[in-house]
Amino acid sequence: MEPRTKISIWYIIATFIAISLLQTFYQASKQTTAIPYSEFQALLNANKIDKVWVAQNKIEGILKQPDKKGNKRFDTTRVDPTLAGELEKHKVTYFGEAPNTWLPDILSWIVPTLLFFGVWMLFVRRFARQGGGGLMSIGKSRAKIYVEKDTKVTFADVAGVDEAKEELKEVVDFLRDSKTYGRLGARVPKGVLLVGPPGTGKTLLARAVAGEAGVKFFSISGSEFIEMFVGVGAARVRDLFEQARKEAPAIIFIDELDALGGVRGAYAFGSHAEKEQTLNQLLVELDGFDQSIGVILIGATNRPEILDPALLRAGRFDRQVLVDRPDKKGRIAILRVHMKRAVLATNADPEKVAELTPGFTGADLANLVNEAALLATRRRADSVELRDFTAAVERIVAGLEKRNRILIPKERQIVAYHELGHAIVAMSLPGQDPVHKVSIIPRGIGALGYTIQRPTEDRFLMTQQELDNRMAVLLAGRAAELVFFHHLSTGAADDLVKATDTARSMVLRYGMDQKLGHVAYDRERPPMFASQDPRSGQGRELSDETERLIDHAVRDLVGRALERAVAIVTANRALHEKTAALLLQQETLEDEDIVTLRSQITAVAAATGADASDREKPRFASTRP
């Protein structure tokens, strides 16, 4: 039982005792004498009664003269008048006895009282849970406080972000020994901002700092400061920093800082006084931070571009630490951490799994290990094998298999030729990710088939030729439909969107068109960690002629990519038809089938004299002086 519940019960018991005592004192104050009914009859016959109050079962009255005890008040219980007359004849002393109703009488007012208190406490507790402690604590901080034994996270539990850990180690050193840390005149940053995409481990890293330093850890989300009442958020900020100062050395961690620290005045309509007041109070608290007391503020966000500049200036959030998606080495380290909980087969090598997961975050890898363990459990295996991880990757990337979605024979044939078009063109062009699997089994919401390409290494830069080749691979499915069926279908809708976006990026952002030159026409910077959609540039100020040239350039890039894809599919027509028949029979091509297909494409290229490397000269010379 919680302490608050115990206190409430004692309040109820004390109230009940007080009411009982008051009732007893009230009854005693009347000084009433209880007499038998026969004595009442005698007093009545002797004309000694002055006044009488007659109730259903009771008679109360006042005597003309006090009795032997000095009381003038009396009461008695009524008796049937007929029976009283008979008893009077035989000179029998008789008493009236009222039914014992003390328990119902007490329950009649105790039960409603208890019910009232119960309902009242229920509403108070529910309001306290939703409103942060009730009306009396509406301005109190909602931060969850963890001590070292509750955190249980150290840098050993965080993998794949070695650079970020190195940046935060000096924060740990300061918290451990804040007095001697600045002996050379250095000061620790007031605030550390962890910046990175969702799922990269920003919160885990902040908790690891608290676990390493062995200090109190105040954790709260930026949205928990904001309320409908103006001034509540600022009060909670003050209370949070006051609690942290009392518990110093300590760490304050504000997750999703963008919910609290957005640019002030960014919205032209609506009232944002509460949000701005809360941010102003946070800025004031940061300015008044005494670094010698040992309190560090750590924030985390995946949208740093919308934060108020005043929050990021020197003296507030002095240091920004990037927590990016891990590279292959980082993925291996993360997988080793999560694989400790699973029973692995000998072929479940973290390095092999890391090769299958470029672009995965730490949260994605944790989910991958869990999905692989579930798949192995479902097939009643004794351990998790590499094929379980492969199937888990396909499930996460492409979606769940829809074997119950039956396609008519004509649709299956179109899907098979379409997917093989992607695979053959990807194998024919240089710089493209290797093909690992081709399938015509429907997956996810709208995918009727899929071709999986997995990069062998992390890429951070792409050339113009590689982008041209990527568009050709994207449009290879439509090229196959044109070559073999002489018509178009809706199956290439997503491929067209991706190819068009790539072409627009080449023209608007990368300056890869000869007529438009080395100019970036998309001035609006996309969100740092969001998907970079070139269509989102709404702030461009271009002439009609430039807009027309951009449209023509995009169309020309996509058209040339389609022509190249059609040429490659036509050159491999016989091989395409033969492999499509095998795909329709097996539904999936992988491993040996993919190796055989790749060697046959190489043989066709050699026989026809085509240059498999597909090297092209630059379309225009450099304009560098």
CA distance 423 to 440: 13
Query: Residue 17: helix, strand or coil by DSSP?
Result: helix
Strands 73-77 and 216-221: unpaired
**Of the candidates 568, 251, 202, 235, which has an alpha carbon nearest to the alpha carbon of residue 362?**
202
Count the neighbouring beta carbons within 10 Å of the beta carbon of residue 129.
10
Catalytic residues: 419
Contact by Cβ (8 Å): 427, 576:
no
CA distance 279 to 260: 6
In 163-249, DSSP assigns E strands to: 191-195, 216-221
**Of the candidates 390, 385, 349, which has an alpha carbon nearest to the alpha carbon of residue 368?**
390
List C-alpha distances in Å: 35 to 67, 74, 98, 178, 376. Answer: 11, 7, 13, 85, 89
- Sheet of strand 216-221, all strands in order from the earlier edge strand to the far edge: 144-146, 216-221, 250-255, 295-301, 191-195, 319-322
CA distance 250 to 175: 8
Handedness of CA 389, 391, 392, 397 (dihedral sign): positive
| Matching residue, tokens 């969850």 | 144
Contact by Cβ (8 Å): 301, 258:
yes
**Of the candidates 456, 430, 426, 468, which has an alpha carbon nearest to the alpha carbon of residue 589?**
426
3 state SS for 102-116:
HHHHHHHHHHHHHHH
CA distance 305 to 586: 49
